[in-house]
Amino acid sequence: GSLKWCYDSQDPKCGPSHWKELKATCGGDKQSPVNIDRRWLQRDGSLGDIIFEGYDQAPPGKWRLLNDGHTVMLSLESEPGAEHIAISGGGLPGRYRALQLHFHWGSLSTNGSEHTVDGQQLPMELHIVHINVKYRTLGEAKGHPSGLAVLGCFFQVSEAPNSNYNTIIGGLRNISHAGQAVDLASTFRLGTLLPHVAQLSRYYRYQGSLTTPDCSEAVIWTVFEEPVGISREQLQAFVSTVHFPASGAAPLKMTNNFRPPQPLRSRKVFSSRD
């Protein structure tokens, strides 16, 4: 797509409040992210454990990390024959294959996430994007309310660095400029990026959209309750290393690449546990 959208930190004239002028869907009734108000959660006993396939093995090939101009993205599409990474269960209507993961972050440790909990923003949020295996392309999946399933993980500042993020963070210096990509030095088990296994059964679930234009309302959202710990220095590596596409003279640091919470309207947010 060639939609001229951006974040306010780049230029308020093309920031999130203007996206609906480019794409009417961005002003729709089922937009993401949302504030998760814990007072209004609806317990859904049918939301059992998510089944993770391939999250436990490091894939044999290389993984490519990309600065796509608005986020840092790791492509997870496996070459034919390679191990497939997928999720199912957890109330999802089928099996979903992993496409990519990416991050949204702030400029201070007090902002950065897209979803908020009781009005509180966390410093960063990871999204792992999956496509319903019954659709062949992203374009096709975007036309269906259960076409995509995104897993969202919050981060919180921890004293100790989180070594599970060393490979990704180590790659950032090579994708400082928009359009740059790097093959990571090593692969790793995707599951190591998630909260502790024992906490993965605690999540929020609601029906929403992509959080960037075209804002397709095609996403079953799963947001884990438990944040992942990451040190201040590791967070700072995102803030200070990666840049938005150069528009003026000096390249602009990639910060605050999050969309603010959108109206919940008639939707409910469900929780898997009390």
Q: Are 142 and 214 in contact (CB under 8 A)?
A: yes
Q: How far is the CB of 82 from Zn ion (least distance, A)?
A: 24
Q: Compute and round to an integer the Cα radius of gyration of the chain.
A: 18
> Between residues 132 and 211, which has the closer beta carbon with respect to ligand B30?
211
Q: Is 102 tagged catalytic?
A: no
Residue 150 binds to ligand B30 (criterion: CB under 6 A):
yes
Nearest residue to 264 (alpha-carbon basis) of 216, 202, 203, 207: 207
> Between residues 39 and 101, which has the closer beta carbon with respect to ligand B30?
101
> Between residues 47 and 129, which has the closer beta carbon with respect to ligand B30?
129
User: How many Cα atoms occupy the beta-carbon half-sphere of 61 within 13 Å?
Assistant: 12
Q: Is 18 tagged catalytic?
A: no
> Between residues 132 and 257, which has the closer beta carbon with respect to Zn ion?
257
How far apart, in whole angstroms, are the C-alpha atoms of residue 114 and residue 169? 20
Residue 210 binds which entry of ligand B30, Zn ion, none, with Cβ cut-offs from 5 to 8 Å by kind? ligand B30
Q: Are 255 and 236 in contact (CB under 8 A)?
A: no
Per DSSP bridges, beta strands 203-208 and 148-157 are unpaired
The site for Zn ion, by CB under 5 A, has a size of 1
> Residue 208: what residue type?
G
Q: How far is the CB of 128 from ligand B30 (least distance, A)?
A: 8
**Site pattern 123..152 for Zn ion (x: CB under 5 A):** ----x-------------------------
Residue 92 binds to ligand B30 (criterion: CB under 6 A):
no
Per the residue annotation, which of 7, 55, 70, 102 is the catalytic one? 70
Element (H, E) at 233: helix 232-241
Which residues are known to be catalytic?
A: 70, 135
